[in-house]
Amino acid sequence: MILELFPRDAQNKIEAIAELNKKIRCCEKCRLHEIRKNALCGEGNTDSRMMLIAQAPGEKEDLAGKMFIGPSGKKFDELLLEADISRNEIYITNLIKCRLPKNRKPKQDEIQTCSEYLNKEIILIEPEVIVPLGYHAMRYIFQKFGIALNSSKVFGKFYYAQEKKIFPVQHPAALCYGDSLLEETTKNYKKLKVLMSECKWYPCCSLKRYYETGKLGKKWVELYCRGDWESCVRYHMEERGEPHPDWMMPDGSIDESLRD
Ligand code: SF4
Ligand code: SF4
């Protein structure tokens, strides 16, 4: 009955996610089903622009069948609060849907088997921004979208690959062992708020015109105007009311070829 309130596409999406979640809950495709109490499905806003991907449920999450309710969940909520983001605004899920014994690292065959569900979630939710939390989720997403892992400093960097924006951040569990990463992690989670919306100047910005008339590639628009607009040089000049050429790029460089 409730489904009748939604347009057909939305209904199909809700039904497809429900169907997927049913499969996850009774999955026995790998050894991890033997010790789990609950296989965890994704949670949150299925229409969100942003999908956060954690590694796997912990003990408390496994018992309750809910994501991020244990110690790392407390840290997660604190980080979201700092960033002014509510759980209802985002979709959160795991790379591995069942608890890993003694919180050990996921094995390659487990990632390969279980990621089938994550891949389906990405197709159904269609997030604009994918946020892997921690090393294993980041490594999987980098492989999936063909991003080379050639730096040890990937958390807090913004990537655009295969039409998806990817912003890896630290897993909140990293904060359970001390505060050494607190400042950097908090800064990265605050950036999520920026990535939740496009630049307020976009409707009247010359970059929109250049992009729509085919003079400018999509990557600039996705990385800045519909992505990290806070890092755009032009954005800050607009805010200060400083004049700048229309053909100034978001990184402050001047592209004379765009001059009308
Ligand atoms: S970890 Fe994934 S593949 Fe393995 S049993 Fe759980 S849901 Fe199935
Ligand atoms: S170029 Fe900069 S100011 Fe213009 S819309 Fe993009 S992010 Fe905003």
pLDDT of 6 reads: 59
Instruction: Dig out the tokens for 3 from the structure.
Output: 């489904």
207 lines ligand 1 (CB under 6 A): no
Residue written as token pair 């063909």? 146
Q: What is the pLDDT of residue 7?
A: 67
Q: Residue 219 CB: number of other CB atoms within 10 A? A: 12
Read off the pTM.
Answer: 0.94
Instruction: Tell whether ligand 2 has an atom less than 6 A from the beta carbon of residue 223.
Output: no
What's residue 223's pLDDT? 97
Q: Count CA atoms closer than 13 A to 65's CA, side-chain side.
A: 7
- CB distance 224 to ligand 2 below 6 Å: yes
Q: Of 38, 37, 66, nearest to 54 (Cα)?
A: 66
Which ligand has the shortest distance to the CA of 100?
1
Compute the distance between CA of residue 94 and CA of residue 75 in angstroms, rounded to an integer: 17
Q: Which ligand is nearest to the CA of 109?
A: 1
3-state class of 40 per DSSP? coil
Ligand 1 contact via 95 beta carbon (within 6 Å): no
Rounded distance, CA 136 to CA 154, Å? 12
Helix and strand totals (H; E) in the chain: 9, 6
Tens-digit pLDDT string for the chain (260 aa): 444 555 678 889 999 999 999 999 999 999 999 999 999 999 999 999 999 999 999 999 999 999 999 999 999 999 999 999 999 999 999 999 999 999 899 999 999 999 999 999 999 999 999 999 999 999 999 999 999 998 889 999 999 999 999 999 999 999 998 889 999 999 999 999 999 999 999 999 999 999 999 999 999 999 999 999 999 999 999 999 999 999 999 999 999 999 87
Determine the distance separating the centroid of ligand 2 and the alpha carbon of 233, expressed in angstroms: 8
Using a 10 angstrom Cβ sphere, with 0-12 exposed, 13-18 middle and 19 or more buried, the burial of residue 204 is exposed
Give Cα 205 to chain centroid, integer Å.
26
Q: What local confidence, expressed as pLDDT, does residue 3 receive?
A: 47
From the CA of 113, give the closest atom in ligand 1: 3
What is the reported pLDDT for 1? 46
Residue with tokens 């389906």: 120
pLDDT at 4: 52
Residues 6+ apart with CB under 8 A from 32: 96, 98, 99, 100, 110, 114
User: Domains in the chain, start-ordered, CATH in brackets?
Assistant: 2-195 (3.40.470.10), 202-258 (no CATH)
Say what the pLDDT of residue 10 is: 82
DSSP H/E element including 252: none
Classify residue 153 by its DSSP letter: -
